[in-house]
Amino acid sequence: MNYVIGIDGGGTKTQVVLADKAGNVLTNKRYESTNPNAVPRETLNGIFKQIFQDIEREVPDSLKQVTSVFAGIAGAGTKKSALHIAEIMTPYFLPETKIKVVPDSVNALYSGTFGKPGIVQISGTGSITFGVNRNQEQGRVGGWGYLLGDEGSGFDVGKKGIQSALQFVDGRGPNTVLLDMLFELYNVRTGRELIDKIYHSDSPRLEISRLSKLVFEAVEKKDAVSVNILRKVAEEISQSIITLDQKLFKEEEKVEVILCGGLFSNSNILSALLQDALIDYPKRMSLVTPELPPVFGSLIGAYLEIGSCVKADVEMNLRRLMNNKQ
């Protein structure tokens, strides 16, 4: 049996790779979301059928030679939902094929640690702090959704930016360039017009989340209000990281913190503020921006299922593939 499959199923898309045991990627394709909490079972069946038909068409008879399938799927955080996904995939493989379904945050972690223990801070539209220790014990902090949590997310930053602009309109907050930036973006002249645009958008949550980029742009313009927003966000994230570190790791253990998601991908502003927020924590955390995309983290998970570590040639080939794309 010569192949492994890695699946990264996020909230909006699913990325799937087939690779050989040396880390050479043979197929890499994108599909719709496979979140079992958001997609009906019949639709899920159809998506996975398409995935495996495509693999078989591009690499004939490959499914019979798959040793390990590792699927990190959004919404697969419970045994019930993970079993649900595994049951859909099982008929496509031989009985001896190892199939593992985990939350997609594991993919993000492994994309930075290459399968070693650590913590991943995901700050995209939503947010979560997730970790795995040397005993394979998993833990999380946050990730409770935009209504009840998601501190350090794009939604959180965007919301704080809008609030600050509207507080300036009211006269109960300091001057901020965010107001002019928002008015220009939406072609409006009043706070009332601004909130109408946001509330009447197709998805207010996503609309607010994408406005987080304005806060980062305002920081680059030396806007004190925006700097303060991101400094507070960094402090909230640091508390989540510290809390999870104390749950999962011993005092003497060195811990890598992988930084994933849109708030970290386009700028080092938040990373630098987070480093400052952690400076007084007795344990020095290593903040790492992953070299690989999350789907390669799932591929690493597939290799781990058939061995105790990721072999040097596999790691080298994956790194080389990413370097060639840059």
pLDDT of residue 190: 94
Place 89 in a pLDDT band, splitting at 50, 70 and 90.
very high
Number of domains in the chain: 2
156 and 59 in one domain? no
Share of the chain above pLDDT 90, in %: 65
The whole-number average pLDDT for the span 274-291 is 89
The predicted-structure confidence for 217-240, as pLDDT tens digits, reads as follows: 999 999 999 999 999 999 999 999
Same domain flag for 156 and 240: yes
Integer Cα distance of 150 and 312 in angstroms: 37
pLDDT of 324 over the 60 cut: no
Strands 127-132 vs 138-141: parallel, antiparallel or unpaired: antiparallel
Within this chain, do residues 53 and 124 fall inside the same structural domain, yes or no?
no
**What average pLDDT does range 60-85 have in this prediction?**
90
The domain in which residue 45 lies consists of 3-103+292-325
Instruction: Please report the DSSP string for 131-166 in residue order.
Output: EE-TT--EEEE----TTT--TTSHHHHHHHHHHHHH
Asked if the model's pLDDT at residue 51 lies above 90, the reply is yes
Backbone φ/ψ region at 145: left (φ over 0), alpha (ψ -120 to 50), beta = left
Buried b (16+ CB within 10 A) or exposed e, 42-61: eebeebbeebbeebbeebee
| pLDDT exceeds cutoff 80 at 312 | no
Count of all residues that appear for the chain in the document = 326
- Calculate what percentage of the chain has a pLDDT beyond 70: 94
- One domain, residues 297 and 175: no
- Supply the pLDDT for residue 177: 97
Asked whether residue 248 falls in the same domain as residue 168, the answer is yes
CATH of residue 15? 3.30.420.40
Q: Tell me what pLDDT residue 48 has.
A: 94
Let me know whether 213 and 307 are in one domain. no
**146 and 180, same domain (yes or no):** yes
265 and 153 housed in the same domain: yes
pLDDT score for 322: 63
In this structure, the answer to whether residues 31 and 47 fall within a common structural domain is yes
CA-wise closest residue to 317 among 288, 294, 291, 287:
291
Largest CA distance in the chain: 68
Q: Stretch 233-258: mean pLDDT, rounded?
A: 93
DSSP 8-state assignment for residue 278 = T
Query: Do both 269 and 281 map to the same domain?
Result: yes
Q: What is the mean pLDDT of the chain?
A: 90
Q: Report the amino acid identity of residue 108.
A: A
Show Cβ contacts of residue 305 under 8 Å, excluding neighbours closer than 6 positions. 68, 70, 98, 100
- Over residues 66-72, mean pLDDT: 95
pLDDT surpasses 90 at 182 = yes
Show the tokens assigned to 279.
């400076």
How many CB atoms within 10 Å of residue 254? 11
Instruction: Answer whether residue 34 shows pLDDT above 80.
Output: yes
Are residues 296 and 196 both part of a single domain? no
Predicted structure pTM score: 0.85
Q: Are residues 129 and 143 in the same domain?
A: yes
Q: Are 178 and 223 in contact (CB under 8 A)?
A: yes
| Closest to 102 (Cα-Cα) out of 32, 8, 3 | 8
